[in-house]
Every structure is written in structure tokens, then in C-alpha cells.
A and B are shown apart, each in its own frame.
Chain A
Amino acid sequence: MLSIKDLTVNVNDKQILKGINLEVKAGEIHAIMGPNGSGKSTLSHVLSGKAGYDVTGGTATYQGKDLLAMAPEIRAREGVFLAFQYPVEIPGVSNVYLLKAALNAVRKHNGLDEVDAMDFLTLVKSKVKALEMDEKFLYRAVNEGFSGGEKKRNEILQMAILEPKLCILDETDSGLDIDALKIVADGVNSLRSADRSFIMVTHYQRLLDYIKPDFVHVLAHGQIIKSGEPELALELEEKGYGWLEDAQVGA
């Protein structure tokens, strides 16, 4: 699905990612954990194509294609979905408009016709219901005036409708109370399948109680310094990141 090799990235001439290697196979869930400033958000932004990041070396290959060469919208149409840490409010564009524009852009990319208006509404309403959202959200401006939990649910709603192949969740748990976290996690879990992969970027272990990863990686100072089974997350919860960082410095 995704193969990252020796990826180095600068922001304003400062090296933030210092050689990332990561293999994500279809159906897998990878958690990337790390302290603040370790480069977690940079990694998710670079993979989704945000401007302002200078790739100085290495590759990211997605389904056999050079991911880094694609414009952000092409990556999205090819099935890469970034769930934002801070979803943007867009007054003046309704939620349902953006969903329709996005879905039809994917369909066009895949050589399909525009979705039928009635089918679209049926699809959207069923997803809205599954996420325990109010239908009124569809007709409100994108994320405008939404609470933190509503914004994150809205991200998952978009994901559910676009059916991406590689989902990158950037600090999805931040700002969520436990009830909202459960709903969002249920939404993500319902999307798990053998041909869909997830990269969860998170600071805390908490999210992993609700979405069980297959692998946990620790990112610190721009490198993955340890990879392991889900139990690694519990160890991090207990000991913090310090022992790993010290080991890295010592090595």
C-alpha cells in the first residue's frame, strides 16, 4: 500500500524528518506515536501534500506510484485521506456541497459517472445516522460553529463517504471527550477492511484503547526510533518517551 524509504524533509531549511522508513500493507493499522515536536504532523502533512514542506531525499510509494509527485487533490482522488487535527471552517460552503464535490471528483478520476442525486442523499443520510450526527449538519457550512467533537465526526463522515484506501488520522483524539472519542473510534473501526490501511498519528495511548493497531512506531527527533507490537504503546504510557530518546542519544 505505502512504502516510505529514507524520507527527509526540511521546513524553512531546518531538517524535521531525518530519514523515515515505513512499510504499510493493505488492511494494517499503524500507530505513530511521539512527543511534541518529533515530526508526527510533518509526516502526515507531507504524505497528503500540504505546501511548505521541502522533501530533500527519499521516496514515498503509494500503490506503486510516486506519491510525492502528485498534487494534493490527486492523492486524495487516488484514495489517500487525511483526517485533520484541526478541521478548517469554511463559511459559505455547505457540508453537503463539499461531500458531493469530493465524491464526484473521485468518481470522475475513476472513470465513473456523477453520482445520482437520490442515491447520494440516501448514502449520506445512512452514514450520518451511523455516526450519530444530526442531519442538519449536512446543510450547515463546513465545520462552521461545530464543536471539537462534531468536527472530528465530520472528518470521519467524509472518510466514510469517500471510502479511501489509506487513511491518515492526525491527532484525531485531541480535544475529544470520552463519548466523542468512542463514536469516532466506532466510525473508524467500521471502516476497517482487508484493503484499507490506517496511519494513526497520536501523542497519547488513549486512542489505541479504542482502535487497536497492528504496529506501533515511536517517532522522535525526526526518526522512527522503535517499532513494535501494540504492547509498546502501553510501555510508552507507563514510562513516557524519555527512556527511548535517551537510548537514541546513547547509540
Chain B
Amino acid sequence: MSAAVHPYISEYSELASLLPGQSLPWLQQLRLDALDAFSVKGFPSPREEEWRYTSVSAIEKKRFAPAVALPRHAIDTGSLKSWQLNDAWSIVLLDGRFSAELSVLDGLPDTVSVMSMADALAKQPEKLQNYLGKAVSHAEHGFIAFNTAWFSDGVWIEVSAKQVLDKPIQILHFATQAETLATTRTVIVVEAQAEANVIETFAGLDSVREGGAVSLSGTGASNAYLSAAVTEVFVAANAGLTLYKVQCESDKAFHFGGTYIKQAKDARLTHHNFAFGGLLARTDIHTDLDQGSECELNGLYLGGKRQHIDNHTRINHLKPNATSRELYKGVLDDRARGVFQGRVIVAEDAQKTDSQMNNRNLLLSADAEADTKPQLEIYADDVKCGHGVTVGQLDEKSVFYMQSRCVDEDTARNMLTFAFANEMVDKIKIKGLHDLVLAQVLARFPQSGINQDWL
């Protein structure tokens, strides 16, 4: 497609005045550079190595309307609240715009700052200038350029040094309208020796919930929309962050999500990525490790029907003595396709790196497909690195073991499929979130014979 005629670009000048941060020259420049990059390159093409298995032509062909304000129609808050965790502070973005009314931030300590990106840019632009665009640049690929130029809002979170947060902070991205574009930029800063849990949740009005999709009456057939959410994360020295991403977009939605992390010396990061929803969903997770940093990347992707779910991770070991652990699991049914590409890059300086990467896929149908590509690039000579990949069916030894313990074969298979996924769910340490994700897993796979009360 010729970039010059891309309607997003021709309509940009009209939209620009409605985007936050108009009075900030540095941000204006950032957006303009990104716009230029997007004008030249457009959305990523399958010719790019990082996009070989995922074509975004379906996104290019459609025209999503940028949400310029909060939706004016009444929205189904019951549906929204089913995604909102009780024992957490939550900040709600409707179609990519902050809703003060639906957010719950009471009792947040003074040492923690949580606000919309628009507010943050208005109130503390100098601070934002230090972070925005610093963990990822528009040169990364077309979606980052697009997001940088178009972002309409997002979230700013800053946890002050030594503050240990007892409750998690949830960012709930909720899509209420078909054909809309929700483009958000979020920045999370965890200062030295602080600890926090942050949950990013993506859902739509008609996302699968508790045992089947509920179609929204009166809105017509289509619930296609595009979420393009980029998060930049800075974990300072000896700080710890556990970041959850729960992606349960509507069946026909498109999702691009990128999380770009910079870990300082001895910083600890755990990321849990649950990719369940959307027709076409892509998530990029990159982290840069400093000396002695630790990172753990966990992922679970579940695909059915014709879903295409792509997860790309990159771990950059830049300095010595850092540790990384990665486990991604996928369960694919029907004609679904799962893509995993995990790169671990160990720089020349990163001696004593300790890295393990694993990707395991379970195919439930002959038409399902898993494309997996683990990559290790090692430039240091004293490291301990490994990776492993499996694509296959259920282990027949396990099926027989369960049968020999009185469980019938169908139940054993359902149970083992569930268990394969549940290993990742069990890693969630927040009860409310654990239960929400568990319900999602159960809603997406055969559960006959599984007694949920016993789990």
C-alpha cells in the first residue's frame, strides 16, 4: 500500500489538535518524527523478519476511527466491572480514554502517583520527558511509530523509592464501540527498592466471560476494533515489579501490545502474559537487563477458531551476572495459529549470564498450527544459556496414569489440557486475578469432567 494515501495520515492533522500534550514542543517533535516514520514504512510487513509469521494486512484494510473523547453513550458497567478487580486500585480507559468516574484510586499512598497520560503530560511534563519514548523508539517498527504519533491517552504510574505496595494497580483497557481505534501509551516507573504489582487488562464489551461470548444486542454484527497499546517500564536499582497482562479482547478485535522494559542494576521483573482474545493479536515484550538484574517471562496463549496469536519476546543481557527465565505455553485448537519468537541476546560484556528459555505447544486439532522460533545470540564466552521447544499432543503416559487412577479417558484429556494451561495460571499470586484468569481458561476449553470446586 502506498503510504502517501493512507487515510490515517491524511486525517492526522485534523486529529492532532485533540491529542494530549499539544503545548509540549518535545512531544510535538516526537510525534512528528513518528508520523514521518509511519508515513514511510506504514504498518509492519511480513517481509520484516520480526513479522514473518504475522500479516497485519487485515488491520490495514480496515479503517478504525480514533476515539477522540470518552464514549457518550451509556456503557454496560456490569460487563466492565466483571473485569475490575476488587482488591486493587484500578484505572479505567474506555476506548483508549481515561474515565475518572469508573476508576477506583481511593486510599492510594502519597508516594504513588497514578493518573491518566493526558493529566500527567499537563501536570508534570518535565518528568514525562525523561521517560516517554526512552524505552522504545518509533524506529522499532510501524506499530510503535503509529502509537507514538496517535496515542490519545494512557496511564502514568510512579512508585516512589522504597515504597512497597500491598495492593496491585490495575489498568483496565475496555473497548465499548465497534470500528474504533484505542491507541494508548503507558509509562510505569518503579523507583529504587520499591515493589509493586501492576495488571494490564484488555477486554471488550462482548469478550468471552464465564462460559461463552455474550453478544451485545443492537450494535450489529461487528465488534471489530483495534487496540494499540504501548507500555514503557522502568524498574530502578534493586526494585521489583510484577507485571501482568491479561488480553481478552473481543472475538473479532485486533490487538497490538508492546511492553518495553528497562531494568536497572539488580532490578527484578516478573511478567505474566495471558493472550486469550482477539482475532489477530500480537504482543512484543522486550527487556534490557543491567548488572545482576533478574527477569522471569511467563506466557500462556490459547487460540481457537481462526485466532492468530503472536508473542515476541526479547531479553537483552547487557551486563554481567543477570538471570533470565522464560516459559511460554500455547494451546491451539480448531484452525488457530500461535506464533512464538523468543530472542535472548547476550552482549559481549554480559559474562556469567544465566538464561533459560522454553516454549511448549499443545495442538488439539490437526488444523491448528504453532510456529516457534527461539533464538539465542551469545557474544560473551562465560555464560549458561539454554532453550527448548516442544510442539505436540497430550502425553499418552499421563492419560494412562490418570485412567489407572479411575479417571475416564475424555475427562483425563480435558484435565490434562487444562493442567497444561493451569501451570501458568497457578503462577498468579493475586487471588482475584487468579480466579479471573482461571475462569477465562475454563471458558475457552472443554471442561467436561473437571470439578471446578476442587481446583
Collect the chain B residues with CB atoms within 8 Å of residue A245's CB: none
A87 touches B415 (CB 8 A): no
Task: Select one of A72, A91, A106, A162 contacting B403, CB under 8 A.
Answer: A72
Docked pose: A73 CA to B409 CA in angstroms: 8
Query: Is B426 engaged at the interface, CB distance under 8 Å to the other chain?
Result: yes
Q: Which of A93-101, A125-133, A186-194, A200-208 contacts B (4 or more CB under 8 A)?
A: A93-101
Which residues of chain B are within 8 angstroms of A76 by Cβ–Cβ distance? 403-406
Distance A96 CA – B405 CA, assembled complex (angstroms): 13
Within 8 A of A (CB), among B377-436: 395-398, 400-409, 411-412, 415-416, 418-423, 426
| A102–B408 CB distance below 8 A | no
Across-interface contacts of A51 in B (CB, < 8 A): 396, 400
| Interface positions of A from 56 to 99, Cβ below 8 Å from B | 71-73, 75-77, 81-82, 84, 87-88, 90-94, 96-98
A48 to B416, CA, bound (A): 20
- Is A141 engaged at the interface, CB distance under 8 Å to the other chain? yes
Is the beta-carbon distance between B401 and A84 smaller than 8 angstroms? yes
A-B contact count (CB 8 A): 86
B411 proximity list for chain A (CB < 8 A): 101
- On chain B, the residues within 8 Å of A92 by CB distance are 418-423, 426
A102 close to B419 (CB less than 8 A): no
Q: Which residues of B, 31-78, contact A by the 8 Å Cβ criterion? A: none
A141 to B427, CA, bound (A): 12
Q: State whether A93 touches B406 (Cβ < 8 A).
A: no
When chains A and B are docked, how far (Å) is the Cα of A76 from the Cα of B401? 11
Task: Please name all residues of chain A whose beta carbon is closer than 8 Å to the beta carbon of B402 when the two chains form the complex.
Answer: 90, 98
Instruction: For B421, list chain A residues within 8 Å (CB).
Output: 92
Closest chain A CB from B444 CB (angstroms): 15
B404 with A48: CB separation less than 8 A: yes
Given contacts A92-B426, A101-B451, contact A72 B404 (CB under 8 A): yes
Quick check: A90 and B416 within 8 Å, CB to CB?
yes
Contact A105 B403 (CB under 8 A): no
Give bound CA distance, A87 to B405, whole Å: 12
Is A212 positioned at the interface, with any CB of B under 8 Å from its CB? no
Contact of A72 among B400, B454, B455 (CB under 8 A): B400
Interface SS of chain B: helix
Query: Hey, which chain B residues are within 8 Å of A103, CB to CB?
Result: 406
Taking chain A's interface residues, is the majority helix, strand, or loop, or is none over half, making it mixed?
Answer: helix
Given A51-B396, A101-B454, does the pair A90, B406 have CB atoms closer than 8 Å?
A: no
User: At the interface, yes or no: A50 with Cβ under 8 Å from chain B?
Assistant: yes
Decide if A91 touches B409 in the complex (CB within 8 Å). Answer: no
Instruction: Tell me if A213 counts as interface (CB < 8 A to partner B).
Output: no
Q: Let me know if A158 is at the binding interface, CB within 8 A.
A: yes
Residues of A within 8 A of B409 (CB): 71, 73
A109-B409 Cα distance, complex, nearest whole Å: 15
Closest partner residue, chain B, to A89 (CB atom): B398
Q: A49: CB under 8 A from chain B?
A: yes
Q: Shortest beta-carbon distance, B358 to chain A, in Å?
A: 12
Q: Which residues of A contact B416 (CB under 8 A)?
A: 90, 93
Give every chain B residue within 8 A of A97 (Cβ-Cβ): 451, 454-455
CA distance A77 to B398 in the complex (A): 18
The answer to whether A90 and B400 touch across the interface, beta carbons within 8 angstroms, is: no
Return the chain B residue nearest A92 by Cβ.
B419
Q: Which residue of A lies closest to B397 (CB)?
A: A88
In angstroms, Cα B409 to Cα A91, docked, is 18
A81 and B405 alpha carbons, distance in the complex (Å) = 8
Q: Which residues of B contact A101 (CB under 8 A)?
A: 405-407, 411, 415, 451, 454
Whether the pair B401, A90 counts as a contact (CB closer than 8 A) is yes
Contacts A88-B401, A101-B451; A77 near B415 (Cβ below 8 A):
no
- The one of A75, A90, A105 that contacts B398, using a Cβ cutoff of 8 Å: A90
**Are the CB atoms of A90 and B419 closer together than 8 Å?**
yes
**Complex contact B401–A87 (CB within 8 A):** yes
Q: Which of A132-157 contact B (CB under 8 A)?
A: 141
B395 CB, nearest partner CB in chain A, Å: 8
Tell me the bound Cα distance from A92 to B331 in angstroms: 14
Chain A residue nearest in CB terms to B421: A92
Task: Give the shortest distance, in Å, between B404 (CB) and chain A (any CB).
Answer: 5
Q: Please list 27 pairs of residues, one from A and one from B, whose beta carbons are closer than 8 Å in the complex, sorted by A's number.
A: A48-B404, A49-B403, A51-B396, A71-B408, A71-B409, A72-B400, A72-B403, A73-B404, A76-B405, A77-B406, A88-B395, A88-B398, A88-B401, A90-B416, A92-B418, A92-B419, A92-B422, A93-B416, A93-B419, A93-B422, A97-B455, A98-B405, A101-B406, A101-B411, A101-B451, A141-B419, A162-B406
Which 5 residue pairs spanning A and B have beta carbons closest together? A92-B419, A105-B406, A72-B403, A92-B422, A88-B401
Given A72-B403, A84-B404, 5 more A-B residue pairs with CB atoms under 8 Å apart are A73-B403, A88-B401, A101-B405, A101-B411, A158-B405
